[in-house]
Amino acid sequence: MKALMFGWEFPPHISGGLGTASYGLTKGLAKSGVEILFVMPKASGDEDKSIGHIINASDVASKTDVFLENYWTNVNFLSVSSGLIPYLGFETYEQMREESLHNKSSVSHLGEKYRFSGKYGANLMEEVVRYAMVAATIAKQQNFDIIHAHDWLTYLAGIVAKKVSGKPLVIHVHATEFDRSGEHVNQAVYDLEKLGMDEADAVMAVSNLTRNIVISKYNIDESKVFTVHNAVDFSGHKASEINRRVNDKIVTFLGRITFQKGPEYFIEAAHKVYKQLPDVRFVMAGSGDMMNRMVKRVAKLGMGSRFHFTGFLKGEDVNKMYSYSDVYVMPSVSEPFGISPLEAMRSGVPVIISNQSGVSEVLKHAIKINFWDVDALADSIYALLCYKGINQMITRCGFEEVNSFSWDDTAKIVKDIYAKTLQER
């Protein structure tokens, strides 16, 4: 079986859980005998080739024919530049904007190569459409059995590939616009998500929470929506002794500093703990559109000397941050899944997660709270810091539990969905 897979990011160049999940799943599928053609907007050459064949969309010229010309007339509304910048930290936006001014790579017609940024800049919607144009060419050139599109950025590419090839389309919902924006959705993104779900032969959601959103908010037939939980990749992970150079306990929030992740609840709970345990340090590792507001709130609460903002972390720096931590907190308002708690547990760190996260469906040995219950969050942090027995039990059982999660098992479920979809065609 051969799958044509469309993704937006892939390790080592990632901005969040999407790239991590794409990598883990493709590795598992490759082990299970599925041949992968992984298309990404901009490949750097240092991606792991063992998972399959990496196709750099920036190296492919889009080609036109009558069908495609007719098709694009129906999606012209997407071609305009957009100020939508999901996942992008405020400190990198100005740099990316300057790069775009000095690096005019856009083309205005089919038949030429388009140099993608592969990021989440102000011309994101244009890149989404260009990516779909290139996908049509790739779908014509390659042989494959099924199409797999990761998240909304690639749904249009998957749809066009399906129309060109006649092969079935499976889309993978890692998050929805309701997770990112609450009820104040970006209509253009919602419309793309809805289009992808309608056109797909099967929809894979990373949790039951996400599956219910797909069915209720997008009116998708539940018979074609499947829950496929994420996992964690232990390969190459080595426990290391870290010299923290401080004796203080450290409580960590690691993720995008955006509405979805609930950073304000972490800060309010941290303040309550700080009043009881003034020697504790708190770390907010990440970037996002709420960062300035969070810095101001910490200053107003008088915790500046005990609260640290690291900015966006990746690679080995993430593992070091887990090793520094005594407690890991993910108080997400709406989290489709959430791989970071699994990574923290893998590093021997007890975790606190919100009930509003998909990962809470599969974890038994984590403390679970409602994201809005700041008192419960503060009490949970206090208990893990002060009561050795609770800390040790959660840490030991959590480590054993997370070792049972495997991308190989997840890949088998996905492969079965592929087979079922192909059979029904």
What tokens were used for 382?
Answer: 């206090």
Same domain as 414, residue 384: no
Same domain as 358, residue 308: yes
Same domain as 130, residue 56: yes
Q: Is 226 helix (H, G, I), strand (E, B) or coil?
A: strand
Same domain as 299, residue 208: no
Which pLDDT does position 68 carry in this prediction?
55
Which pLDDT does position 315 carry in this prediction?
78
Report the largest interatomic distance among the alpha carbons of the chain, rounded to a whole angstrom.
70
Please list the residues that pair with 40 across neighbouring strands.
Answer: 56
Q: For the beta carbon of residue 30, count every other beta carbon within 10 angstroms.
A: 17
| 237 is a domain residue | no
| 241 is a domain residue | no
Please list the residues that pair with 133 across neighbouring strands.
Answer: none
Which pLDDT does position 243 carry in this prediction?
66
**12 cis-preceded (ω within 30 degrees of 0):** yes
Same domain as 333, residue 267: yes
State the Cα–Cα distance between residues 298 and 221, nearest whole angstrom.
Answer: 45
Same domain as 266, residue 339: yes
CB 422, CB 201: distance < 8 Å: no
CB 352, CB 382: distance < 8 Å: no
Same domain as 181, residue 276: no
Which pLDDT does position 239 carry in this prediction?
57
pLDDT, averaged per 10 consecutive residues of the chain (425 residues), comes to: 91 73 91 93 78 86 58 42 37 43 44 69 78 90 96 93 95 92 85 95 96 97 96 67 77 93 97 96 93 96 95 87 95 91 93 96 96 98 96 95 91 96 88
Same domain as 213, residue 70: yes
Same domain as 296, residue 213: no
CB 317, CB 240: distance < 8 Å: no
Same domain as 329, residue 182: no
Residue type at 375 in one-letter notation = D
Same domain as 324, residue 309: yes
Which pLDDT does position 101 carry in this prediction?
43
CB 129, CB 75: distance < 8 Å: yes
CB 252, CB 325: distance < 8 Å: yes
State the Cα–Cα distance between residues 389 and 128, nearest whole angstrom.
Answer: 51
Which pLDDT does position 83 carry in this prediction?
36
| 47 is a domain residue | yes
**At which residue do the structure tokens 């507001």 appear?**
293
Same domain as 166, residue 295: no
CA angle 400–404–406, rounded 5-degree value: 140
Q: For the beta carbon of residue 247, count every other beta carbon within 10 angstroms.
A: 6
Task: Quote the domain boundaries for residue 343.
Answer: 250-402
Q: Which residues contact 403 (CB under 8 A, 6 or more apart)?
A: 234, 346
Q: How many domains, in total, are found in the chain? A: 2
Return the exposure string of 120-158: e unless at least 16 CB atoms fall within 10 Å of the residue's CB, then b: bbbbbbbbbbbbbbbbbbbbeeeebbbbbbbbbbbbbbb
Q: For the beta carbon of residue 315, count every other beta carbon within 10 angstroms.
A: 10
| 329 is a domain residue | yes
| 355 is a domain residue | yes
CATH number reported for the structural domain that contains residue 174 in this entry: 3.40.50.2000
Which pLDDT does position 70 carry in this prediction?
54
Q: 172 φ, ψ to 5°?
A: -115, 110
